[in-house]
Amino acid sequence: MIFRWEVFIFFLFFLYAAFSDSDVLTIKIVEDIDNNWANNLWNQPQTKLTLEPKVKEANFSGPSHFKSLLGKCYEKVTTSYRYVFCPFRNVTQHEISLQWKPYNGILGVWQEWEIENNTFSAMLMRDGDKCGSIYRSVRVVFTCASKNQVSDVSEPQLCHYLLHFETPLVCQKQSMFVYPYLSSNLKDAWDEIEGELLRKEITEKGYKKELVKIFTAAGFFLSDETKKDLAKNISKKTADNEKTETKFESLEKCSAEYTRLLAEMEGLRTLISLTARLKEQERKEDEETPGYKSESSSKEHTSSPLLKNRKKKN
Ligand SMILES: *[C@@H]1O[C@H](CO)[C@@H](O)[C@H](O)[C@H]1NC(C)=O
Ligand SMILES: *[C@@H]1O[C@H](CO)[C@@H](O)[C@H](O)[C@H]1NC(C)=O
Ligand SMILES: *[C@@H]1O[C@H](CO)[C@@H](O)[C@H](O)[C@H]1NC(C)=O
Ligand SMILES: *[C@@H]1O[C@H](CO)[C@@H](O)[C@H](O)[C@H]1NC(C)=O
């Protein structure tokens, strides 16, 4: 984008220079280009978007047939955004816009399952980009369909997104039951607390607590320890983010420089049109003078009072 602007600006300068057919003005234009400005532009770091996740994604977990989604990404394009859902990886959002800094960000990173009524009910992608004092997150829910696709993305609560994913993987209800995906050890543990609950040896609350332990041991829920592990790289990533911000800062400066230049160009434009009018007037006067050759007099024209004035300013 930035280089196109630059080319455009130079193009305009040369266009004006060519049309003005005045040596003085051409020289003036070249001098007017601030060296710093030119250097800034040429030395701009590439504005490649680096979406830096704040946490590492968790390992795959859950119903084994969902492994078929590993390594795949699904897009959803709306009028203003392109969403990309990479199961067990991340959800990103890309603003479709011609503005200077369209939003490109991470809405969530794969963490764990939501389990309701002993059934896998949603994928939770958390710790996306910062949103005020919280981090963006996405709840991915599934509906049965013949083909894998993101059918809808909404934001029911500020920075908490809901992504509807259509997939044949959930068409068999039992395929989302948690129990079959547990190791035999954990199945045994579950059987045991089930018995204890029946015999009223534990409370409903105690039973639920034990169940959470089982789901955590299976990796469907993240333990606090694993959460910490995944976030360990935050500090390193934060340092990277700061670097990115510096880049934007200098881009903003550059943008300001561009605005300043536009204003200056406007000034030149006015000058050129004034000069042209002045010349036209002079030429008319020349033509009215018999025996005067207008071509040979071009040198004198460039030293019109206006241009002399401009020259002196340097
Ligand atoms: C999101 O996941 C995809 C698939 O693994 C990966 O290629 C991409 O780099 C990830 N994006 C971010 C911002 O981490
Ligand atoms: C992911 O799996 C690898 C290999 O099995 C293991 O070493 C690592 O600790 C796991 N990471 C998490 C966050 O569970
Ligand atoms: C919970 O799941 C069982 C089957 O496992 C089903 O019969 C029951 O209706 C479900 N309850 C709710 C509240 O969804
Ligand atoms: C943090 O990042 C380093 C390399 O960047 C990697 O080797 C390490 O496994 C990461 N830690 C966690 C907890 O993912």
User: Which of 49, 52, 89 most suits a substitution to test ligand 1, by most atoms within 8 Å of the C-beta?
Assistant: 89
* Pick from 116, 112, 314, 295: nearest CA to 216: 112
91, pLDDT greater than 90: yes
> pTM score, two decimals?
0.63
Residue whose Cα lies nearest atom 7 of ligand 4: it is 233
Residue whose Cα lies nearest atom 3 of ligand 4: it is 233
306, pLDDT greater than 80: no
Of ligand 1's listed atoms, the one at least distance from the Cα of 92 is 13
Cβ of residue 90 lying under 6 Å from some atom of ligand 1: yes
Query: What structural domains and CATH numbers belong to the chain?
Result: 64-177 (2.70.130.10)
Predicted pLDDT of residue 283? 76
Residue whose Cα lies nearest atom 14 of ligand 2: it is 59
Using one digit for the tens of pLDDT, what is the confidence trace for 190-219? 999 999 999 999 999 999 999 999 999 999
Using one digit for the tens of pLDDT, what is the confidence trace for 162-181? 999 999 999 999 999 999 99
